[in-house]
Amino acid sequence: MLTLTPGAAGLDDLEAVWREGRAVRLDPEARPGVEAAAARVAEAAAGGAAVYGVNTGFGKLATVRIAPVDTATLQRNLILSHCCGVGETLDVATTRLMMALKLLSLGRGASGVRWEVVAQIEAMLARGVVPVVPVQGSVGASGDLAPLAHMTAAMLGEGEALHGGERMPAASALAAAGLAPVALGPKEGLALINGTQFSTALALAGLFRGWRCAAASLVTACLSTDAIMGSDAPLHAGIHALRGHRGQIEVAAAMRALMAGSAIRDSHREGDARVQDPYCIRCQPQVAGAAVDLLRFAAATLVTEANAVTDNPLVVGAAILSGGNFHAEPVAFAADQIALALAEIGAIAQRRVALMVDPALNHDLPPFLTPAPGLNSGFMIAEVTTAALMSENKHLANPCSTDSTPTSANQEDHVSMAAHGARRLGRMADNLAVILGVEALCAAQGVEFRAPLRTSPRLSPVLAAIRGASPALGQDRLLAPDIAAAAALVRDGTLVRAAGIEEFRP
């Protein structure tokens, strides 16, 4: 059981929820603040003053007053009417992370929900009740309304949920877990759906997957450098210290350590007619380092957002104030930044693949890395696949945050588009894992052509891991299974662990 402290959850906590499926509860010390805010909302609901979302309608209907007897019905109707999501179902890991983020937001004691609502989310996470949430329908303001409505509906016993690996009516899932539907009080429905947790969860998932790819790209780049008998001189610490960017300095240091002791590299320190390697080899620290810095900047934004209160209105002291924290512009910007980093890591890696298969550039390796070119095509079309995925990621990297359209009868007239900006990151990370997987296959093949010379002690276990998933390519064979296996080595962290750079963290 992972205990989260509202306002203080870290990136490692959030990744543990997403990657390990940890059960979550809020720090019990959050309870008094939560209950105090709920009492203030209950007082407002019973009073005569109009308070948005407590005793009024929503959005353009905010001028419609709701009688105290109807405030509970108002919240239930809000949830049911907003369950308008479409498309495929959000994956279980990201749905659970979204629920944990909602806990963190409610736990700050500004949303006005009762502790029973918090306990319902905690119990669903602990007992494996996962709402079925369609991924399309949010424009990223006023919050992720449709996706979060589907999450909330399951808490009420409406809609669908997963339990024990089966999809079923939410009421049945709750019953199977020994839980009862929760009945919403004043403002509670609005507090649950008016926030950025769907977009933030997707952006965090993209960050976690993207960071693993970024770390793996250091490993594949080093192996590719040995495959084409490239130089490690551009990794010299002095070069990178003079520029001063943290990511560049750290990438160069990691690559120096990975390549240290390579007999392949030592074999051509003298008498090599080549003066400089192409940019895809020589500038890996500059490109990957810039991507690392960008990912870290996005990570800082997302950690802040994960701990934020993003519904509306908010209980601030004795006041209940309307604002706009539901606008997901910070998440949209972070998602665009992650997308740029993923696209550029893939772009430079694809050029290394192209370099290794090209006999005019690969320093005496056979064409397309096959021992019998002509009769065999080797990695010819694997390289084309990486080009296709690289180009697809370039298109996907176009910004989403610069788009907006008015909604809700022009009341919500500027929106962030954070939801699909974050959602595309999963597809981009999948594409990047394939590009890096193919690079790993080509680099392993190239390094083995340099025998009896051997790569470095740190890269030798990487080579063994690749060969454990994909034998050396002699005669042509169906390569799709090898590509899938190599991409899995990137996604599951095998390459990073084999190289011993797990400490390379955001």
- Provide the annotated active-site residues: 52
User: Can you state the percent helix, strand and coil of the chain, rounding each to 5?
Assistant: 60, 5, 35
- Pair type for strands 24-26 and 2-4: parallel
Burial of 502 (0-12, 13-18, 19+ CB in 10 A): exposed
- Pair type for strands 160-163 and 166-169: antiparallel
Taking the C-alpha atoms of residue 177 and residue 171, their distance in angstroms, rounded to an integer, is 10
Report helix angle 460-469 to 197-227, nearest 10. 110
Taking the C-alpha atoms of residue 458 and residue 262, their distance in angstroms, rounded to an integer, is 9
Taking the C-alpha atoms of residue 213 and residue 506, their distance in angstroms, rounded to an integer, is 12
Closest of 488, 458, 475 to residue 372, by C-alpha: 475
The end-to-end CA distance of the chain, in Å, is 24
Taking the C-alpha atoms of residue 86 and residue 67, their distance in angstroms, rounded to an integer, is 33
Tell me how many helices (H) and strands (E) the chain has: 20, 9
Taking the C-alpha atoms of residue 343 and residue 356, their distance in angstroms, rounded to an integer, is 20
Instruction: Cite the DSSP H helix spans in 107-187.
Output: 115-126, 145-155, 170-176
**Chain centroid to CA 338:** 8
Token pair in block for residue 26:
């809020």
Token pair in block for residue 39:
């009492």
* Strand ranges (E), 267-354: 314-316, 319-321
Taking the C-alpha atoms of residue 413 and residue 5, their distance in angstroms, rounded to an integer, is 34
